[in-house]
Structure 1
């Protein structure tokens, strides 16, 4: 997916959040945002992929601020809340219900001030909604005949709901070889390989790094190991908007996108209302 007109403003807003999370020093914040303004034109062109070029810019901002993980505390809180909620809902026995919970998990802010019970109620409310695009039957059919699944996670809190879904995939398709991929290091609130191991993914699947810290899975920045796995996987499940942004232009029918259309550019690309929940096979 190439940038839409809103994407640059979104990048600037995210950069402001990064800066405010990184330092209380108002003068440093000003210098950081001026630095960002001077770099914007170097990164964005009409054919830019927002997650990739925005992510590259964020990493430069991290270096400027001298903070390698500005979202660290946010992620710690998110992980604790999500773990608590997932412990209450992990008795889900239906694979389609688990799939919808995984998508719903992509929509909840697990670092907000309300508690696990309210988050759990909101999660189940979202999961009770119909998918606006529902190609889950097609996904399950492909998993039935697949040998290898590559599952690309998104944010740190929601991975606990991905785990519930993956556990049911393993139960339904016991012969399937499952790999779960996350970022090599911290970028915004994305899950890292370390987060996956902390959540116990290494007990239910093979954990792998994309080889990059960039949001999504931009293949031009991926490791050779990840690229080899990506090429041979029979089915690829890609969670969240950044994975859609970086992989949708491939026209690869092995990829199924699970996400909520949280912004106008994504809803425009998908042809769905803003806020819609989607399980969609990549166009090929």
Structure 2
């Protein structure tokens, strides 16, 4: 997905949040935003992928601020609340409901100013919504034929609802080799490999790193090892907007995108109303 006109303002807004979370020093905040303003014109072009070039910019801002994880407190709270809600939900035996829980979890996103204290009520409410685009039957059929699955995760907290979905996939398709991937290190509130290990994903799947800290899975920045796994698997489940931004142009029919269309550019790309829940095939 190429950049839309709103993506520049979104990057600036996220940069402001990063700066405010990193330091209370007003002088340092001003210096950091001026730095970001100077750099933004050097990164973004009409052909830019917003998650990729935005992520590169944020990592530069982290370095300028001397803070490699400004979202640590937000991620910790999201994780605590989501883990409790997922535990209360317990085992899920219906494929459609488990998939919808995973998509509903995509609401946990600091980039859109989400308040994690609302996780419990929002997750349960969204599982009652219909998917605006629902190609989950195709996903189920492909999993039945597949020998291997790569599951690309998105945000902290959200991963506990992905875990419920993966637990059911493991039960329904016991012969499936499953890889679950997260970021090598912190970026915004994305899940890292360390987060997956703490959440117990190693009991369900082979935990792997994208080899990058950038949002999504931009193929020009991921590791050789990740590329090899991506190339060889039969099915890919890609959670969240950043994975859609970085992988949608591949037009790869192995990929199923599961997400909530939280912003106008994504809803425009998918041709769905903003806020829609979707399970859509990549080609």
Q: Could you state the TM-score of these two structures normalised by the residue count of structure 2?
A: 0.97
SS at match of 2:220: helix
**Structure 2 residue ranges without an equivalent (≥5):** none
The equivalent residue for 2:70 is 70
Structure 1 CA distance for aligned equivalents of residues 175 and 106 of structure 2: 28
The equivalent residue for 1:195 is 195
The equivalent residue for 1:102 is 102
Structure 1 CA distance for aligned equivalents of residues 25 and 280 of structure 2: 44
The equivalent residue for 2:93 is 93
SS at match of 1:150: strand
SS at match of 2:54: helix
The equivalent residue for 2:274 is 274
Query: CA offset at residue 120 of structure 1?
Result: 2.2
Deviation track 1:19-69 (CA, whole Å, cap 9, x = no partner) reads: 000000000000000000000111000000000000000000000000000
SS at match of 1:180: strand
Query: CA offset at residue 109 of structure 1?
Result: 5.5
Q: 2:77–2:116: 8 Å Cα contact kept in structure 1? A: no
Deviation track 1:69-122 (CA, whole Å, cap 9, x = no partner) reads: 0001111111111111110012321111000000001014697373xxx63232
Structure 2 CA distance for aligned equivalents of residues 112 and 241 of structure 1: 18
The equivalent residue for 1:34 is 34
**Structure 1 residue ranges without an equivalent (≥5):** none
Q: 2:103–2:260: 8 Å Cα contact kept in structure 1? A: yes
Number of residues of Structure 1 aligned to a counterpart in Structure 2: 280
Q: Note if 1:251 corresponds to 2:254.
A: no
Structure 2 CA distance for aligned equivalents of residues 112 and 49 of structure 1: 27
The equivalent residue for 1:112 is 115
SS at match of 2:53: helix
Structure 1 CA distance for aligned equivalents of residues 84 and 57 of structure 2: 34
Structure 1 CA distance for aligned equivalents of residues 90 and 165 of structure 2: 9
Structure 1 CA distance for aligned equivalents of residues 52 and 264 of structure 2: 18
SS at match of 2:213: coil
Deviation track 1:197-216 (CA, whole Å, cap 9, x = no partner) reads: 00000011000000000000
Q: Note if 1:230 corresponds to 2:233.
A: no
Structure 1 CA distance for aligned equivalents of residues 119 and 262 of structure 2: 18
Deviation track 1:193-246 (CA, whole Å, cap 9, x = no partner) reads: 000000000011000000000000001001011000000010000000000000
The equivalent residue for 2:127 is 127
Q: Note if 1:171 corresponds to 2:171.
A: yes
Q: 1:108–1:123: 8 Å Cα contact kept in structure 2? A: no
Q: 2:259–2:277: 8 Å Cα contact kept in structure 1? A: yes
